Structure 1
Amino acid sequence: MIQLKPGTVAMIIGARTSAGRVNIGKSVSLFALCQPGERLLNPINGVVTELPGEALRALWLVTGDIQSVDGQAGFAFVRPEHLMPLTPDALPADELAKIME
């Protein structure tokens, strides 16, 4: 199983919305896994950011050369399954072995 944790570098490999698709293929840093309705201090703009309570699942707040669904630069909320870690310690052992071969 892929281990996602804050500080991990990952690539965005999918998106459900057309606004999110512009970020596919970009590398990001995982900041925090946010639950619906949770608020946190956004590291990019210093503003309290909230994952809407209507969200159906927890999403990662990620940072990088990306944009949010409303066009703000530097961060976005992304589903865990749309992230592929690029840090070797976050990869499953069998995938890491394939890369090392």
Structure 2
Amino acid sequence: MSGFLHGIPDSQAVKPDADQVKQAVSPSEAQQDFADSLKKAINNVNDAQITSDKKTEAMAKGDTENLHDVMLSAQKSQITLKASAQVQRKVIDAYNEIMRMQI
């Protein structure tokens, strides 16, 4: 029974190919990936804000009568902004916790 992995014998278990095994990432690559992810997230928040502003302006000018769409875009931009602020707080808390660690 010790040769089973969740009920599948080891001989039948799917094992990743050597090509599928993720290679170690250098610290500079990890930093660049994190920076790119952060930039993408900030751009998404900015895009949501811009879209909301454009739809609100169009509604004020009378170019659109779809109040539902305007309100949805406003709520979406508000939620993305609040979520990004919460993530920022968590990152700062984690950084402060790491800085308090003794070596």
TM-score tier (shorter): under 0.3
Give the structure with the larger strand fraction.
Answer: 1
- Largest Rg, 1 or 2: 2
Q: Structure 1 length normalisation: TM-score?
A: 0.22
Higher normalized contact order (CA 8 Å, seq sep 6+, divided by chain length):
1
